[in-house]
Amino acid sequence: MSRAVFLDRDGVINAMVYNAEFGLIDSPANPDEFQILSGVIEAIRRINEMGFLAIVISNQPGVAKGKFTIELLEATKAKMVRELALGGAQLDDVYYCLHHPHAMLDAYRVVCDCRKPKPGLLLQAAEKWDISLPQSYFVGDGITDIVAGRNAGCKTFLVNSRKCYLCDELARQEVEPNYIGKDLADAVEAISRLEKRDPIIEEQYRFRCKVICD
């Protein structure tokens, strides 16, 4: 069976942006706003070299909420794939959930099985690519990523840029990622060494509240 490193998109692969209309930090609404984070191209190239599939699993309800069109979402996806490829990094697949239970557009106002924290997109990918989920990793920066990965049976890796409030909410929901690191590059370095059964790395990256902030 195949193995995968599943990746959340916003905050892991690309930077979040300020949406002045809605007054919040949000997903990029168009290709011009999409900027790949430092170290990501090298990290995904390393995932490829290690023999893992690199698969994006992302909630993208912006279309449902009327923030941008499906055409802009697809154009943003094309930019992501193209810029990664220019750096020698390959995404094997991209899965988006477009639904939201309070969507402005009727077609997307559903309670689905694919919106994280539900594991539907991971299960779809596992069936298509014959992936062993227990031997795969989910790297994300949010609680829904960790819950979705856990629900699918993956090892989970929280990348946390000093967002300490996440630790409190993880504790409230009684959810723990397996590992925690600073960013995707840090996570991939850890995965590489975890695959070699390095006990020092196992302890170093094991999830502990405030490990990033201490």
Residues catalogued as catalytic: 8, 10
- In sequence order, what are the residues at sequence separation of 6 or more whose Cβ sits closer than 8 angstroms to the Cβ of residue 199? none
Around 70, how many Cα atoms within 13 Å sit in the side-chain half-sphere? 8
Please list the alpha-helical segments (H only) found in the chain: 40-49, 70-86, 120-129, 143-152, 165-172, 184-194, 199-205
Which of 94, 68, 95 lies closest to 81, judged by CA?
94
d(CA 161, CA 183): 7
Q: Which two tokens stand for residue 154?
A: 């993956």
d(CA 88, CA 130): 24
